[in-house]
Amino acid sequence: MSSQQSLVHARALTKRYANGFTAVDGIDFDVRPGKAFGFLGPNGAGKTSTMRMIACSSPVTEGTLSVIGMDPRTQAREIKAKLGVVPQHDNLDTELTVRENLEMYARYFDIPRDVANRRTDELLEFVQLDERAKDQVEPLSGGMKRRLTIARALINDPELVILDEPTTGLDPQARHLLWERLYQLKRRGATLIITTHYMDEAEQLCDHLVVMDKAKIVAEGSPRQLIDQHSTKEVLELRFTDAVREDLNGQLNGQLDGLADRIEELPDRHLLYTENGERTLEQVNLRKIPVESALVRRSSMEDVFLRLTGRSLVE
């Protein structure tokens, strides 16, 4: 893939902090225009450091990075003029009102006042904050602040929008409202880069995903491709009572042996990876294994992550 075709082009991209910690260790990726590109991984995987390098707010230690065809080392101001950034932690101007936050941000981008006013009106409506326009920022709920931060990131009509964990810490209702707004952005043709440690967010929003773990990229593809490649079609989740677990200690795995392509043992349940969950469950019942509860579901990004890293995504 050539750098001309991709909006963000990274080769051997590395971030090492002053204390010697390597947060990003030689990663390669390309972000195609008009797509939603996701970085999925647990906390500390290097997602935010990568995002901050793309946003020109953290210097690249080593490797190549081009953003919208420009070099963050020498053209940071030109790049930032075309970016919209939603940082992990809201950094709204708490001394200004909701509306003033957008108006002032437009001024930083040298957007003429009449255009800024029109765009401020549109964006406040887009993120459903038009009724709070004159309010101070501090009393707003977490979801509202997040929406205002997203509106602020769109004030310069950016070519590329960078969202670092856009819905972390929000309640389900606020998350769904945000997702819906991000879908709309996507439909308008915006290019999005999203980091998340929520697999459902990654699956729903992203066309293309890279899975990061311990400063490296461990897998890449569309959510469907990743699931097909690294997991089975279905998963049978089995839970056992503590008593059964202790009784059968050691023998449980032997009894389950051969029932599935792969078995993962988690602290609270066993995951049986199989093409047909119902059929596997029948076999479990035939073997008279004392199951407390069973659940058949489709494979998800969580399973992909577990497969690739041996660990769960969240918690």
Partner 1 sequence: MTTLTQPAASGALATAWQRIWRARRLVERNIMFYRHQWIIILSGVFEPIFYLLGIGLGLGAIIQEVTLTDGRVVAYAAFVAPALLATAAMNGAVFETIFNVFFKLNFAKIYDGVLATPMGITEIALGEMMWALMRAALYAVAMFVIMLFAGLILSPWGLLIVPAALLVAAAFAAAGLAGTSYLRTVNDFDVPMGLVVMPMFLFSGTFFPISIYPLPIQVFMQATPLYHAISLIRGLSTGSVGTAQLWDLAYLVVFFAVCMWIAMRQMERKLIK
Q: What angle do CA 197, 198, 204 make, to 5 degrees?
A: 130
Nearer to partner 1, 105 or 240 (CB): 105
58 binds partner 1 (CB under 8 A): yes
The residue count for binding partner 1 (CB under 8 A) is: 32
199 binds partner 1 (CB under 8 A): no
Nearer to partner 1, 33 or 87 (CB): 87
Which of 29, 105, 240, 305 binds partner 1 (CB under 8 A)? It is 105
Q: Judged by CB under 8 A, which stretch of 94-102, 174-182, 189-197, 274-282 contacts partner 1?
A: 94-102
Which of 73, 107, 118, 287 binds partner 1 (CB under 8 A)? It is 107
100 binds partner 1 (CB under 8 A): yes
CB 117 to partner 1: min, Å: 14
CB 101 to partner 1: min, Å: 9
**Measured on CA atoms in the order 69, 82, 57, 201, is the torsion positive or negative?**
negative
Which of 91, 229, 241, 276 binds partner 1 (CB under 8 A)? It is 91
Alpha-carbon distance of 145 to 98, in angstroms, equals: 9
Which of 5, 64, 94, 141 binds partner 1 (CB under 8 A)? It is 94
Which of 2, 20, 110, 114 binds partner 1 (CB under 8 A)? It is 110
133 binds partner 1 (CB under 8 A): no
Which of 95, 125, 131, 292 binds partner 1 (CB under 8 A)? It is 95
HSE, CB side, 13 Å, CA atoms: give it for residue 152.
27
Alpha-carbon distance of 291 to 165, in angstroms, equals: 37
Q: Per CB under 8 A, which of residues 62..81 are in contact with partner 1?
A: 76-78, 80-81
Q: Judged by CB under 8 A, which stretch of 90-98, 186-194, 256-264, 300-308 contacts partner 1?
A: 90-98
Alpha-carbon distance of 249 to 237, in angstroms, equals: 18
Alpha-carbon distance of 127 to 140, in angstroms, equals: 13
134 binds partner 1 (CB under 8 A): no
86, 149 contact by CB (below 8 A):
yes
Alpha-carbon distance of 205 to 201, in angstroms, equals: 6
Alpha-carbon distance of 83 to 61, in angstroms, equals: 21
57 binds partner 1 (CB under 8 A): yes
188 binds partner 1 (CB under 8 A): no
3-state helix, strand, coil in the chain (%, to 5): 35, 25, 40
Structure tokens at 171: 């309640």
Which of 5, 43, 64, 89 binds partner 1 (CB under 8 A)? It is 89
Distances (CA, A) of 314 to 129, 192, 203: 31, 23, 15
**Measured on CA atoms in the order 96, 101, 107, 112, is the torsion positive or negative?**
negative
Site of interaction with partner 1 (CB under 8 A): 17-18, 55, 57-59, 76-78, 80-81, 83, 85, 87, 89, 91-96, 100, 103-105, 107-110, 152-153, 156
